[in-house]
Amino acid sequence: MNELDLKTVGVRGINSQLHGLAQDTNEKHWVIRNPMGQHNIACGVSAPLQIEIHGHVGFYCGGMNKDAELTVHGHAGVGTAENMMSGVVWVKGNSSESAGATGNGGLLVIDGDASSRCGISMKGIDIVVGGSVGHMSAFMGQRGNLVVCGDAGDALGDSIYEARLYVKGKVASLGADCIEKEMRIEHLADLERLLKAAKRREKPSEFRRYGSARKLYNFSVDHADAY
Amino acid sequence: MCGIVGLYLKNPKLKPKLGKMFKPMIIEMTNRGPDSAGVAVYRNPVNKAQTKFSLAHIDAGYDWKKIDVGLEKALKCDCTIKKIGNHCILVTTGKEASVVAWLKQHHPEVRVVGSGHTIEIFKETGLPANVYDKFDLDEAAGTHIIGHTRMATESAVTTAGSHPFATGADLCLVHNGSLSNHNRLRENLRREGIEFQTENDTEVAAAYMTWKLRSGATLKEALQDGLRDLDGFYTFLVGTADGFAVVRDPIACKHAVMAETDDWVAMATEYRAIAHLPGADTAKIWEPEPTTIYTWGGHA
């Protein structure tokens, strides 16, 4: 196990150390101390490392992550795991706005609450939130799954494309072109896999599914005369 | 951009350390607002018959004695002055409106940046660390303090355009964001008799609050009405005689985070400003909800 103290080496010191590791490195386990709410900690890591951060982090932690498994033992700021490609980012506390924004792949778990715009423009990432999400979550979500074990704020899934949304609690309101959809066997199986991966105890049958009515982004041949 | 920070001490034993505790908080917000900085510190309350003014002049060598002597003579009142940087704290038994009118007539170059019984406002262009040093804020003892680091977007980088903006006795406002209807609102408020020193959008929000409070609204009502009448993006932090209030617009894309321990309550644009406080690691930390008014220390 290797330790990095942000107070000593700074954010650049931490990131350059992690970026310098090869895919097949033997130094796989890293512990980061004293994050002090600083931004961009462990961004752009592209090796299969296990990274543990002890304390609260600032914005964009784990952004662009590829292959690494990153755990934040604390709260996270804005844009956690934004544009993640693969791997796992796990926040033990709460996460601020735009968690998992534009994420392409991988798994983001937030044990606590996420704020507004969670999963905004998600492109294939899986997000599991143990608590609730704020307004405009999954806004323009294109692909991937957002699982919310608590409640969802206003305008859930506004202008959504093909992302799948599962909510156990109340939904304050649905956004434009977002509707409740039938929960089929394949969805229950998918949800079971995601809940298990996030170590959640909720049952898939307790959730409702939401997704795109596909009226906003599809061209309807009935409107051909309008052009 | 812009950064806002506030610290309210629940534990009276910490009062002598207020300035020292706050310093790393405001300095941490430097890269959100390197253009200018300002703080409102609540300390040394004066007695009921007195009013405390924060005055500013462009020249740090300005002779404040002529204000002292002139006011005493004209209004037949007692005055004491304390020069701090290019500001001065004036404590007087003169009536607030008469003092303001006299200053405007005889010394229009002197700006009134705040007034009340406990509030002292200091603001200046430059890096937060330099501004903090200039006004000896390290040594500040008191109950609470709010601050602002400005990255100018709506108007010029000037001392007058720096935050906090006074909104009435012991009240001030700092703002992160931008207002889109400030021009129209300024015109409306001018018709109500409110005067403006700058073209700044936050000054309009402050003037709006002043007008509301003058019309008899409570602080909470003024903020509630502001949610309807102020269009734009904002997180506001309002300093009051005995605490502070926080409110965010309905979209809430201007960051804000709050933290509380048994010893203090803190508010900041980003958590990294709060991270410097003792006990921040284990504090209760949360994000203020949009359109919800949070207050500490009563008053509202």
**Shared domain check, A210 and A130:** yes
- Measured between CB atoms, does B285 come within 8 Å of chain A? yes
Tell which of A34, A64, A96 closes a domain.
A96
**Shared domain check, A61 and A132:** no
Dist. CA B118–CA B250, nearest whole Å: 32
Dist. CA A211–CA A186, nearest whole Å: 15
Residue A182, pLDDT above cutoff 50: yes
Q: Is residue A139 part of a domain?
A: yes
Give the mean pLDDT of B31-37: 95
- Measured between CB atoms, does A59 come within 8 Å of chain B? yes
Query: Is B77 assigned a catalytic role?
Result: no
**Shared domain check, A127 and A87:** no
> Domain limits at A121?
117-217
**Shared domain check, A88 and A150:** no
Q: Strand B264-268 relative to strand B3-9: parallel, antiparallel, unpaired?
A: antiparallel
**Shared domain check, A126 and A211:** yes
> Residue B228, by phi and psi: left (phi above 0), alpha (psi -120 to 50) or beta?
alpha
Q: What is the DSSP string of B176-209?
A: EEEESSHHHHHHHHHHTT---SSS-HHHHHHHHH
Q: Which residues of B touch A96 (CB under 8 A)?
A: 255, 257, 287
A132-144 pLDDT tens trace: 999 999 999 999 9
A57-93 pLDDT tens trace: 999 999 999 999 999 999 999 999 999 999 999 999 9
| Lowest mean pLDDT, pick from A2-11, A182-191, B194-203 | B194-203
**What backbone phi and psi angles, to 5 degrees, belong to B28?**
-60, -25
Mean pLDDT over each residue of chain A, to the nearest integer: 96
Interface test with A, best of B271, B274, B285, B289 (most A CBs within 10 A): B271
Q: Is residue A129 part of a domain?
A: yes
Q: Which residues contact B217 (CB under 8 A, 6 or more apart)?
A: B225
Q: Is residue A178 part of a domain?
A: yes
B234-286 pLDDT tens trace: 999 999 888 899 999 999 989 999 999 999 999 999 999 999 999 999 999 99
**Shared domain check, A64 and A18:** yes
Give the mean pLDDT of A205-226: 88
**Shared domain check, A165 and A74:** no
Residue B300, pLDDT above cutoff 50: no
Q: Is residue A44 part of a domain?
A: yes
Dist. CA A191–CA A187, nearest whole Å: 6
**Shared domain check, A65 and A28:** yes
Give the mean pLDDT of B158-186: 91
How many angstroms away from the CA of B31 is the closest CA of chain A? 12
Percentage with pLDDT > 70 across chain B:
99
**Shared domain check, A83 and A28:** yes
**Shared domain check, A129 and A210:** yes
Domains in chain A, number: 2
| Residue B110: burial class (beta carbons within 10 Å; 0-12, 13-18, 19+) | buried
**Shared domain check, A136 and A50:** no
Residue B168, pLDDT above cutoff 90: no
How many angstroms away from the CA of B233 is the closest CA of chain A? 15
Look at residue A84 in the predicted model and tell me its pLDDT. 98
On whether the CB atoms of residues B244 and B223 are closer than 8 A, the answer is: no
What band does B298 get if pLDDT is binned at 50, 70 and 90?
Answer: low
A22-68 pLDDT tens trace: 999 999 999 999 999 999 999 999 999 999 999 999 999 999 999 99
Q: Name the token pair of B131.
A: 């501004």
Report which residue type is found at A2: N
User: Which residue, chain included where needed, has tokens 């130094």?
Assistant: A27
What band does B161 get if pLDDT is binned at 50, 70 and 90?
Answer: confident
How many angstroms away from the CA of A37 is the closest CA of chain B? 4
Q: Which residues of A touch B269 (CB under 8 A)?
A: none
Give the mean pLDDT of A103-126: 98
**Shared domain check, A92 and A136:** no
Residue of chain A nearest B287, judged by CA positions: A96
| Residue B149: burial class (beta carbons within 10 Å; 0-12, 13-18, 19+) | buried
Residue from the list A36, A93, A115 with its beta carbon closest to the beta carbon of B275? A36
Percentage with pLDDT > 90 across chain B:
84
Q: Is residue A204 part of a domain?
A: yes
Structural domains in chain B, CATH included, are: 3-42+126-296 (3.60.20.10), 46-117 (3.30.70)
Look at residue A221 in the predicted model and tell me its pLDDT. 78
